[in-house]
Chain A
């Protein structure tokens, strides 16, 4: 069969940091080509290049050659890709919330009244809603669901949105290559298999399919070939019948060098915080009925695929999203999630959205470090009759900030420098320093090393270990970087669909983690 897509020697870097290194990949017409890789392995970048996302062009384009149906292509925007016959099912859904199901499915390909088409041209011809509704119903039926095409997208649940997203691409008649980014992540088992059936049928019609999934079982079942990406490189490729789940999991993670690492130990203390049927309604990252004990003095890791809830725990404790269920902290029930109350009690949460919620970007380094401690506990104010009116006491803040800057190796021009001007890694260190200044007993951190270079990453990890060991601070460490969690944590909880799926020891084989992350119990056919 001919290659519909041929990628050769593809290189892409963001600000000098390579995201893809010499990738060669081809998709034949009528083939289902699987693509697997851990978070940050470059899958998204590859998709963005193929679909002509503007972000690629804006960050300096790419090197290498991509041929589509024998013609060399270099898309500058998505509409070029779409008009070539490339379709994409986006992981985050490219759906317009205020439009209805039918309007979304037919967007850009609406049936119009032929009469106005001739009279006023394509752009200004009247849309035939009845026709659109009927054909979108047909596309949805192919997926095996009955859905009122007049419901607005924003009123749909997440798995129905996924169906609409897929239906939009199925409905296209000009499709030649379909890219699916984690289409089954939010679907139930049955629905997933139904989708795989449809993909098989589509590939039978000669459509090339690039299928990305974390569910290795599906990859094994449906793909003709599978390629594995790791750290921007293509490390393995298997033909059908040679695809083994454990092998794929091993290839995805690779062999990592152990760097900053905590000594192994067993924590048998009393629970410091207990969650019972705890739910957090954070859109896209919901926690549902989570039960978890966090022991005093431990570092517990939280990991999951995106959207399965690892980030929401800290946000829930800060009261940023509605919560339900019971939380017992230090044998005392927390009734109301209020950030200030919780900080006073000794709970501090560092969010993953560092720019938006972590730092006070236009304030000085000094103010950033002492801000929370001073607001919550009035630790750095001059004594006065009305504490809330008193001025910051620089004789006390300066030595403290000095110590923090030294301890954590924060690189700055002066204490008065605006935090906005610091690098991402240093901003994160400032965040942790601020958390420490408030002297919490329990610290939630989320993705502290995201977008941080390697040396700063190691520094941040060793900071976390150090504050845990020297100050007996309990840490809940949510991250998608499994390798970091294994180095730092005493236990690692793997979350699937907002619940704790399995709690693993950091020494567990990596295959176990890969299986747990994809929600599989680990009993396998090819062992």
Chain B
């Protein structure tokens, strides 16, 4: 046992998973034949798009609630608010602010409800968040397929289907595009660096780090480690967990907003569907697990995961002369990462704890 201990220190999933991703990305990049600057530009764009969504996952993991797949709920909250604001034709910066306000309000509400629900299913949070994500999705689709134009009056005919009821598949966000993305943008050679947005993501990363080092953060850690003991120590476990879910949902909402405005248009019915899976996979790629996650793992994970994500279709095309294979490889990477993380964690859990 003693001889093994140092080995475990160096060869645990915290290091192995990122290392594997690094090697795979490098190989795939070599095969794909893409230029380094192209890949880097893409990764920076995705770092901005996905940053907050991945960061939103950290606190629930620390609180022992596992991967919060229901960040899709936060995404739907901001999309709802976005559609409402577009429906009333409010443009520019006031529009953005209004979207934020309504979105945060909705996601606080939904986060509270999620927290209450998850307090009833302790130990089965992950599967619950997945199913809740699907369930809320169907409500969301109902609202925008049937509700818009009937119950909810719409003053912007552009987003409505020609029959007058229901929102179009794709809504253009032209009126918000390039408002914040292009702030402080400069280039180094072929690489474009939108400094403002990078700073925003880093600011939120710092915020998460800060929260984890406050009294509240300590409580979150304690709840994640030994929830029963916390009651004896005077910590209200349920309240902490609710606050965690609210925080996570709000962050996810803001993250989805950055994501959508960066893309410049959004698929009303599908834009949020993959946020949960992709973000979780990115976090895990950085070496996090369903039991522990750190801010630096999130940041590293976004880079590694998206690098592989960008180069793998091209690599597939070059290797097999078939782009579809590369697309297949993307989902293989995403789901494979999550499955691996789950297996590694459950395996660790079952091992008897004898560390004297």
Contact = CB atoms under 8 A, between A and B. Distances in A.
A110 interface: yes
B229 A78 contact: no
A51 B232 CA distance: 8
Contacts of A126: 210, 213-214
Nearest to A98: B225
Contact of B225 (A82, A97, A129): A97
Contacts of B229: 94-96
Given A77-B234, A79-B236, A123 B216 contact: yes
Interface of B: 210-211, 213-218, 221-222, 224-226, 229-236, 352-356
Most A C-beta atoms less than 10 A away, residue of B211, B229, B236? B229
Interface of A: 51, 53-54, 77-79, 81-83, 88, 90, 94-99, 103, 107-108, 110, 112, 116, 120, 122-127, 129, 154-155, 157, 281, 283, 321-322
Given A83-B234, A155-B355, A157-B356, A124 B216 contact: yes
Query: Which among A88, A122, A126 has the highest number of chain B CB atoms within 10 Å?
Result: A126
A155 B210 CA distance: 26
B179 to A, nearest CB: 29
A82 B353 contact: no
A526 to B, nearest CB: 38
A125 B214 contact: yes
Given A79-B236, A112-B215, A125-B214, A96 B225 contact: yes
Contacts of A155: 355-356
A82 B234 contact: yes
B213 A78 contact: no
Contact of A53 (B224, B226, B230, B232): B232
B225 A110 contact: no
A370 to B, nearest CB: 30
Given A99-B222, A154-B353, A157-B356, A108 B214 contact: no
Contacts of A97: 225-226
A95 B226 CA distance: 8
A283 B222 CA distance: 21
Contacts, number: 89
Contacts of B235: 79, 108
A283 B352 CA distance: 9
B234 A124 contact: no
Ranked 5 nearest A-B pairs via Cβ:
A79-B234, A98-B225, A82-B234, A94-B232, A96-B222
A124 B211 contact: yes
Contacts of A51: 232
A94 B354 contact: no
Contacts of B222: 96, 99, 107
B247 to A, nearest CB: 11
Given A54-B231, A77-B236, A123-B216, 4 more contacts: A53-B231, A94-B232, A97-B226, A281-B354
Interface centre among A82, A98, A157 (most CB of B within 10 A): A98
Contacts of B218: 99, 103, 107, 110, 127
A120 B215 CA distance: 11
Contact of A78 (B214, B221, B231, B355): B231
A89 B148 CA distance: 60
B214 A123 contact: yes
Contacts of A122: 215
Contacts of A107: 218, 222, 233
Contacts of B234: 77-79, 81-83, 108
B355 A124 contact: no
A124 B212 CA distance: 9
A124 B215 contact: yes
Given A126-B213, A127-B214, A283 B353 contact: yes
* Most A Cβ at <10 Å: residue of B217, B224, B231, B353: B231
Nearest to B217: A127
Nearest to A55: B231
Contacts of B210: 126
Contact of A154 (B213, B214, B231, B355): B355
Contact of A321 (B233, B352, B355): B352
A99 B225 CA distance: 8
B233 A94 contact: yes
Nearest to A80: B234
20 contacts: A51-B232, A53-B231, A53-B232, A78-B234, A82-B234, A88-B232, A90-B232, A94-B232, A95-B226, A103-B221, A108-B233, A122-B215, A123-B214, A124-B216, A125-B214, A127-B213, A127-B215, A127-B218, A154-B355, A283-B354
- Most chain B Cβ neighbours within 10 Å, of A123, A283, A321: A123
A28 B207 CA distance: 48
Contacts of B352: 281, 283, 321-322
Contacts of A154: 353, 355
Contacts of A99: 218, 221-222, 225
A96 B354 contact: no
A77 B231 contact: yes
A134 B217 CA distance: 20
A96 B230 contact: yes
A78 B228 CA distance: 12
A320 to B, nearest CB: 10
A110 B226 CA distance: 19
A56 to B, nearest CB: 12
Contacts of B217: 127
Contacts of B224: 98
Quick one: which of B213, B218, B356 has the most chain A CB within 10 A?
B218
Contacts of A108: 215, 233-235
